[in-house]
Amino acid sequence: MYDTILVATDGSDSANRAVEQALDLASMFDAELYGISVVDTRRYGDSMLSGSSGVIDDLSDRAEEVLAGLEAQADVGVTTTVRRGRPHEEIERYADTVDADLIVLGNRGLGASGEIGSTAERVVRYIDRPVLTA
Amino acid sequence: MKLLVAVDGSEASENALTYAATLADAMDGSITVVHAADPTVHDEGGNEPDVSLWDADQRLVLESVADVEQRGLDLLDDASAVADDLGHDVAVELLYGNPVAEIADYAEAEGFDTIFVGHRGRSERAGLMLGSVAKSLVERATVPVTVVR
């Protein structure tokens, strides 16, 4: 059923639920587990001149920590990556790279302040793969 | 493991049912198929053009509650038959009202572990403005939702 599962996390509560789901499914189906955390550069720009590189680096460190947490929780092998860009695009790209059978993510991440515009919504809309939101 | 599958008669929702059936086999789960009869739905949609009056008739505005109810029951029968072919004996439930609210509330009230729902492929421009049941269910549901295409 699942050979390859990709979980996207930003360390939010709902992402942590997603991680639990992904870990359960990966061990149930003996699937390869991949983890991604995307530094959302839409907010801070991505230019050397913008003076935001410090913020981006901090966020990258944070993303690394979140993924280290995932690796520590996993009793199956997990491959992780930190990407920079628009979260749903980076998630799609990485899902294509690893050919994920399922993408797991939280339904309300750190950026979801309202009803519209969450990463989960965009992933559901734009990615032609099964998506589990927790 | 209690699995809830929301169907609307679309190919994507049949895919969601097939998907859930495969998972239920692996996890020894039980499946309930649910449809929300919502008289405010005016168009069944679909991407193919109307090529005949018959096609148009199939998509007609559904105004009477009795029609909507019958359509819902037919959908559930169809889904039940599909599940039968897959070797699954499923329970069916017809709900009344807004699909997102009713399905999310039903899943929580009845203690389902997870919901499966179909999504009709990439949203076109109109879809971006209107939103989809799948997308809204993801936001509203208190249990994990798997969106299948």
Q: Residue A23 domain-assigned?
A: yes
Which of the four pLDDT bands, split at 50, 70 and 90, describes residue B58? low
> Which structural domain range is residue B89 located in?
2-148
Contact A66, A9 (CB under 8 A): yes
- Specify the pLDDT at position B40: 67
Expressed as residue numbers, the domain containing A28 is: 4-75+89-127
CATH of the domain at B70: 3.40.50.620
Flag whether pLDDT at B122 surpasses 60. Answer: no
**Numbered residues of chain B with Cβ closer than 8 Å to any chain A Cβ:** 19, 22-23, 26-27, 119, 121-123, 127-128, 132, 134-135, 138-139, 141, 144-149
Cβ-Cβ contacts under 8 Å, B139 against chain A? 107-108, 115, 118, 120-121
Q: Quick one: average pLDDT of B46-68?
A: 67
- Which residues from B are below 8 Å from A130, CB to CB? 19, 146-149
Total beta-carbon pairs less than 8 A apart between chain A and chain B: 55
Q: How many domains does chain A have?
A: 1
Distances (CA, A) of A26 to A32, A35, A104, A121, B18: 7, 12, 11, 23, 20
What's the rounded mean pLDDT across residues B2-19?
Answer: 94
Q: How many domains does chain B have?
A: 1
Q: What is the ipTM for the molecules in this complex? A: 0.88
SS (H, E, C) chain B: CEEEEECCCCHHHHHHHHHHHHHHHHHCCEEEEEEEECCCCCCCCCCCCCCCHHHHHHCCCCCCHHHHHHHHHHHHHHHHHHHHHCCCCCEEEEEECCHHHHHHHHHHHCCCCEEEEECCCCCCHHHHHHCCHHHHHHHHCCCCEEEEC
pLDDT beneath 50, residues of chain A: 116
Contact between chains at A125 and B144 (C-beta distance less than 8 A) = no
pLDDT surpassing 60 at residue B62: no
Q: What angle do CA B94, B96, B99 make, to 5 degrees?
A: 90
Residue from the list A28, A121, A130 with its beta carbon closest to the beta carbon of B146: A130
**pLDDT, mean over chain B:** 85
